[in-house]
Amino acid sequence: MSVALLRGGTRRPAAGLVVAAVTLAAYGGTIGAAAPQAQAQARASTSVVVTETEFHLALSTAHLQPGAHTFRIRNAGHVPHGLSIKGPHVAATSAIIPPGGRTSLSVTLRKGTYHLWCPVDAHRAHGMATTIKVR
């Protein structure tokens, strides 16, 4: 460890080493290793845009492969909406969002059939639901 000698004979670590130590601590002890992993995970996730109105769900695609998916939900309606997904090994619900709001819901889908619907009040019973097949 590099040490700077101060007046009076007091020693302290060199400033550059202190900055490096703080940086390492902030990034979990590894610099550069976490960034490529996060980038790889971001690339591996497929985005599906879900536009919600009364009483309809519109998906940007219904052709999904198994893997990580992020449903980007936009409430284009006049009342609060949300999104629930249920299928093989998945049961997830997004936050309820106000008119004009946005949220997202990330899940890992396997091969199979998934049901998507709005969990607010009786929106599902009014037809705010759809089914997708992951192949």
**Residue-by-residue pLDDT tens, the chain, 135 positions:** 444 444 555 555 444 444 444 443 444 444 444 444 444 444 578 999 999 999 999 999 988 999 999 999 999 999 999 999 999 999 999 999 999 999 999 999 999 999 999 999 999 999 999 999 999
Of 81, 87, 66, 65, nearest to 121 by C-alpha is 81
Any idea where the domains of the chain sit in the sequence? Answer: 3-34, 45-134
Position 23 scores a pLDDT of 40
Position 115 scores a pLDDT of 98
d(CA 25, CA 6): 26
Position 45 scores a pLDDT of 86
Kindly state which CATH superfamily the domain 45-134 is placed in: Cupredoxins -  blue copper proteins (2.60.40.420)
**83-107: b or e for each residue (b if 16 or more CB lie within 10 Å)?**
bbbebeebeeebeebeeebebebeb
